[in-house]
Each structure stands twice: as structure tokens, then as C-alpha cells.
């Protein structure tokens, strides 16, 4: 092996533009699949007697400088553990490369020392760098003073300097700083400098490898994106600073991603006081804390195909709330995200009439339409924190009508307030249960509102039948009431009140007629499906107001 000469300091050709151009997570093209054999080989090497012998063994499978660096990196990340005991007792700790190798553990200084020496033996220029880091114990918005707290490396490959951190590549320590867990992290291998600066601030600003360089005060105030943020394909988050001051009780956050992702959030450890909507490439979140003071906000993300419980924390903010917006107290049944999105579209709900998550209704009525995918059966329910109605009674305030592949949900609210409209679906051909798909928030401030339920329908009422009138399930007493219903494939329709009244079929396909509600408490709509049968089926039931 040739020992390397003195490394050259960074110059113009090493620099990358800041802020990040969203192109690549790494500072040079790397094909991880080409490393698979080399990685597997490096993990198996088990030489501990000397650093030279270890490097000799590792380089048997490495030809290029990049492969040499990769083999050294992989070996260190999987064989040296973080010394949590030594961290608390640094005076007793040696960070010399040979001592780190023999002990099999060290702190960041030792990782960087071993990395530098192994590269040197392999004939690769490498520097040990030190500086401030947003690692263990970092508090949002804190300032950095005094000595540096972390060490990492720069390696010289293909005529340029590149950055890596084998300490953070190897795993993580728990919150109490008593236990280290090996958890390999690819992100810290040849990280793009505009991303590396997010949590590494070198003592010598030239080693940021950035143009322009970042000032310490910007490093302190900038949002901390952890490696999950970038590894999951997220691009940017707004605001870019970690502390958010509410305006009129509200904080707004948005995240942009390369592809469709699922998100969740927690405010002080609980998913509440927020309204999150999914975008095709990211999400938007409005937070309305219901107490003044400081609140920790965590945002989680996962790819759509990952299991339900595999959300990774990607962002943390501190929300400083000066005043509370009491009108934004969301119902406890509201599920996040709210409103339609690429996710509900994937479940077969296309072209929604209402794109916003909140539907404001002045008169307590609204109508939503969707185009449905093939073979989908829909169920909807209405929830409210201050409703005395049973769930079954609330469900009768929604009327569902199918016209071909279009579905309409008509809603007549029983009273003012905030309601959650939950929408479930299943394949018609599926015998199983309905699965929850998405929900809306319906808000009505008009205290005069008091709509009765729609009429009760029975199993013979087909999903593409339609009520034109009367829509109210409560009919006035002692009146002539006009009926107009759309039903196909029916031979005869009767209205059963105190006496029976037949409806006649008009040219445009509606069954029409009137019935008098005197002397009865209930009115039924009955159908003959076949003219030869004497048997009538009940399809609808109306109540009559008491006289």
C-alpha cells in the first residue's frame, strides 16, 4: 500500500450549491446494487489483531477507490459499537485506531480516527473533521458554544472531497444514553453536503463543501430533518425553522415528497387539535393548540405499501402558542387525514365534488358526489360530539343514491355543530366487512337548523332507486302529500297510509301520486315486483307528526 501524502484543502471544484437542489442524496453517483457482494464480504471479515491486517483482508474484494472506501465504511458501521460508558468517562478512553479495533467500541472521535487510518493504509486521502452536531441531547433552537461535540470524516474520491459519518451510520443510542443499538444507516455514506449541513457544522467552514457556506446562526435556527426524512423521499418542509409561533391560534406546516406518502402527526404525544390533508406529493397540516405555551409537534411518514404501524418520525417542531382559537375544537371522531386525496382515489372514489376537507353548510344541508370505481359498495355514517342521537339514527340523516357509476350522498343535519362524515367501502363481491376509507368535517353554525331524518329504507330498496319527494322521513299530519319516486323493474307501487293509494308510472320513469296522512302514525311505500304476485314488499317507511 502507498501511504498518502498531505491532503489538499477543499477548493472550488469540491463545492455543492446550497440549498439542496433535490437531485440526489449523495455527493457522487453510487449504485448500491453494485455494492451488494462487496458489502456482504466486508461484513464477514473478522480480523482484529492489527489495523493493517484488517485493511489487507477487506481490500481483497475492492478494486476502485470507491470500493475501498465502501468496504472500510461497511466494516466499521457493523463492527464498532458506540461506547455509552466511555462517553460518560472520556478520560479513561483511548481513541487510537488500534485500541478502538481491539475494544470493538468507541465514541465518535474513535470511529473517525479508525476510519482515517484505514483509508490512509489503503492509499486514500481522508480527513478527520470535528464540529457541532444535532445529535443526542439536541434541543430545538439551541445555540452552540464552546468546544466541538462530534467528529466525522471527509474522503477524496474521483478528484473531489466527500463527507461521511460512520458513527451515525452504525446505529443509535436510546433516550437515556445507556444502550446502543446497531442499526445501519446508508444516509451518512457520501451524504450530499447540502443535506449533511442539516446536522453537522464543521469547525472549519471550508469543510461544509458548500457554496455559499452556512452561518452558525442559520445552522442553529434551521429545521432538523433526520435521515428518515430524506430516505423516505421527502424533499422540503415549511416552515424551514424549528420553532413556529401561532398566528390567531393556528400553525401551518407543509411537506413535499417525491411520491405519494402517508403521514400522521402527534401534538404533545397525541394526534389531536389538527387538520391534515394529503397531497399527491406531500401533505398540509393545520394545528390549533387548545392551550397556550410550548407544544412539541412530531410528524411521521410511511410509504403506502408499508404495514400500518411502520410510521417513521421525520420532523419535529416546537409550536409556541400565544392565543387559543376555541372555534377550532375538532370532534374526537375526526380521523386524519381529512378530506379526499390520492388515497381515497386509490380506493375507488374518483372526481369528488368537494375537494376541501371542511364543508361549511349554512342551512344544514349538503350533497356530495363521486364517480365510483368498479364493484364498490359504500356505507356512510355521521358522528358528532354533542349529539344525543344513536349512530343508527344519525345514519338516517344521510341518503345515498346511485346513478350508473355516480354516487350522491345527501346530508340533512339534525342540528347545528361540527359533524364527521365517515365513508366506508367494500367490493360488492366481497362478503366481508366495510373498510374505512376517509372522512369530511361538516360544519354548520346556524342554530335554527333541525332537519328530520330521511325515510327508513328496507332491503328491497335498491341502491339506484331515488326519492325525489318527500325527502323528509317525518310527514305533516292530516295533509295531502305528493310522492315522486324513481324505481325500475317494478310492476306496481302502493302508498299505505290509513288507506292505500296507488302511484302511477309517468313517461319519464317516475312513480307519482298523492296520499293523505290523516288518522295514521306511519306511512309505508310498498312494491309489487311482479304483476302476477299478490305479495307486496315494503321499501320505505315514513313517520307522521303527532296531531
Q: Which helix (H) or strand (E) holds 97?
A: helix 97-103
Structure confidence by residue, pLDDT tens digits, 259-302: 999 999 999 999 999 999 999 999 999 999 999 999 999 999 99
Per-residue pLDDT band at 347 (split at 50, 70, 90) = very high
CATH class of 342-454: mainly beta
Domain locations along the chain: 32-210, 231-321, 342-454, 457-544
Statement: residue 531 has pLDDT above 80:
no
CATH architecture designation of domain 32-210? Roll (3.10)
Grid coordinates given for 470: 318527500
Instruction: Give the whole-angstrom CA distance, residue 513 versus residue 506.
Output: 10
pLDDT on residue 208: 98
pLDDT on residue 530: 79
Per-residue pLDDT band at 540 (split at 50, 70, 90) = very high
Structure confidence by residue, pLDDT tens digits, 429-444: 998 899 999 999 999 9
**Strand segments (E) across 385-459:** 398-403, 406-412, 417-427, 435-444, 456-457
Burial of residue 459 (number of CB atoms within 10 Å: 0-12, 13-18, 19+) = exposed
Q: Write down the mean pLDDT value for the chain.
A: 95
Tell me how many degrees the CA angle 155-161-165 measures, rounded to the nearest 5. 45
* Mean per-residue pLDDT, 5-34: 93
Q: Please give the model's pTM, rounded to 2 decimal places.
A: 0.89
- What does residue 447 show for φ and ψ, rounded to 5 degrees? -75, -10
Instruction: Give the C-alpha distances (Å, rounded to integers) separating 402 from 273, 370, 427, 464, 507.
Output: 35, 10, 15, 4, 21
* Mean per-residue pLDDT, 342-357: 97
Would you say 86 and 92 are in contact if contact means Cβ atoms under 8 Å apart? yes
Structure confidence by residue, pLDDT tens digits, 111-145: 999 999 999 999 999 999 999 999 998 998 899 99
* Residues tagged active-site: 108, 150, 165
Structure confidence by residue, pLDDT tens digits, 381-409: 999 998 888 888 899 999 999 999 999 99
Q: Which residue has the cell 466494516?
A: 75
Instruction: Give the whole-angstrom CA distance, residue 319 versus residue 288.
Output: 10
Fold equal for 32-210 and 231-321: no
Topology of domain 457-544, CATH: Immunoglobulin-like (2.60.40)
Topology of domain 231-321, CATH: Immunoglobulin-like (2.60.40)
Length of the chain: 547
pLDDT on residue 4: 59
Amino acid at each position: 500500500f502507498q501511504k498518502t501524502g498531505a491532503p489538499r484543502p477543499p477548493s472550488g471544484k469540491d463545492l455543492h450549491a446550497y440549498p439542496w437542489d433535490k437531485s440526489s442524496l449523495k455527493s457522487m453517483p453510487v449504485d448500491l446494487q453494485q455494492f451488494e457482494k462487496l458489502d456482504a464480504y466486508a461484513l464477514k471479515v473478522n480480523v482484529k489483531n492489527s489495523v493493517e491486517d484488517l485493511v489487507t483482508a477487506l481490500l481483497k474484494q475492492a478494486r476502485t477507490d470507491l470500493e475501498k472506501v465502501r468496504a472500510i465504511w461497511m466494516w466499521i458501521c457493523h463492527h464498532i459499537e458506540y461506547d455509552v460508558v466511555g462517553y460518560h468517562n472520556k478520560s479513561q478512553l483511548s481513541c487510537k485506531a488500534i485500541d478502538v479495533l481491539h475494544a470493538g467500541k468507541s465514541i465518535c472521535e474513535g470511529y473517525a480516527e479508525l476510519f482515517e487510518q484505514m483509508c490512509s493504509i489503503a492509499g486514500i486521502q481522508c480527513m478527520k473533521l470535528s464540529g457541532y452536531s444535532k445529535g443526542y441531547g439536541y434541543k430545538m433552537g439551541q445555540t452552540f458554544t464552546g468546544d466541538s461535540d462530534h467528529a466525522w470524516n471527509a474522503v477524496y474520491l474521483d478528484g473531489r472531497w466527500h463527507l461521511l459519518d460512520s458513527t451515525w451510520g452504525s446505529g443509535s443510542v436510546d433516550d437515556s444514553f445507556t444502550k446502543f443499538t446497531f442499526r445501519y444507516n446508508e444516509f451518512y455514506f457520501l451524504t450530499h453536503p447540502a443535506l449533511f449541513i442539516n446536522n453537522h457544522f464543521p469547525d472549519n467552514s471550508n469543510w461544509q463543501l458548500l457554496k455559499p457556506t452556512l452561518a452558525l446562526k442559520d445552522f442553529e435556527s434551521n429545521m432538523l430533518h433526520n435521515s428518515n426524512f430524506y430516505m423516505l423521499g421527502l424533499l422540503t418542509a415549511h416552515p424551514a425553522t424549528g420553532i413556529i409561533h401561532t398566528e390567531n391560534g393556528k400553525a401551518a406546516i407543509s411537506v413535499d415528497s417525491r411520491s405519494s406518502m402517508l403521514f400522521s402527526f402527534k401534538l404533545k404525544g397525541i394526534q389531536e387539535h389538527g387538520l391534515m390533508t394529503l397531497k399527491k406529493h406531500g401533505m398540509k397540516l393545520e394545528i390549533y393548540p387548545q392551550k397556550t405555551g410550548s407544544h412539541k409537534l412530531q410528524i411521521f411518514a410511511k410509504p403506502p405499501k408499508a404495514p400500518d404501524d411502520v410510521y417513521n418520525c421525520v420532523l419535529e417542531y416546537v409550536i409556541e402558542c400565544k392565543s387559543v382559537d376555541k372555534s377550532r375544537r375538532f370532534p374526537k371522531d375526526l380521523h386524519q387525514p381529512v378530506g379526499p386525496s390520492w388515497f381515497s382515489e386509490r380506493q375507488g372514489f374518483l372526481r369528488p365534488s368537494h375537494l376541501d376537507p371542511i364543508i361549511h353548510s349554512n342551512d344544514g344541508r349538503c350533497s356530495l358526489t363521486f364517480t365510483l370505481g368498479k364493484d364498490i359498495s359504500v356505507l356512510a355514517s355521521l358522528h358528532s360530539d354533542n349529539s344525543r342521537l344513536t349512530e343508527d339514527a344519525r345514519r338516517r340523516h344521510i341518503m345515498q343514491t346511485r346513478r350508473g357509476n355516480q354516487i350522491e350522498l345527501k346530508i340533512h343535519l339534525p342540528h347545528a355543530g361540527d359533524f364527521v362524515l365517515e365513508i366506508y367501502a367494500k367490493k360488492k363481491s366481497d362478503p366481508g366487512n366495510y373498510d374505512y376509507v376517509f372522512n369530511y368535517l361538516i360544519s354548520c353554525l346556524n342554530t335554527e337548523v333541525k332537519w328530520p331524518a330521511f325515510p327508513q329504507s328496507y332491503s328491497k330498496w335498491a341502491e339506484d332507486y331515488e326519492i325525489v319527494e318527500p325527502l323528509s322521513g317525518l310527514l305533516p299530519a292530516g295533509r295531502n302529500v305528493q310522492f315522486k319516486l324513481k324505481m325500475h323493474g317494478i310492476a306496481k307501487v302502493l302508498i299505505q297510509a290509513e288507506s292505500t293509494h296507488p302511484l302511477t308510472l309517468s313517461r319519464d320513469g317516475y312513480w307519482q301520486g298523492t296520499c293523505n296522512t290523516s288518522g295514521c302514525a306511519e306511512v309505508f311505500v310498498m312494491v309489487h315486483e311482479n304483476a302476477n304476485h299478490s305479495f307486496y314488499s315494503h321499501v320505505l317507511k315514513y313517520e307522521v307528526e303527532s296531531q
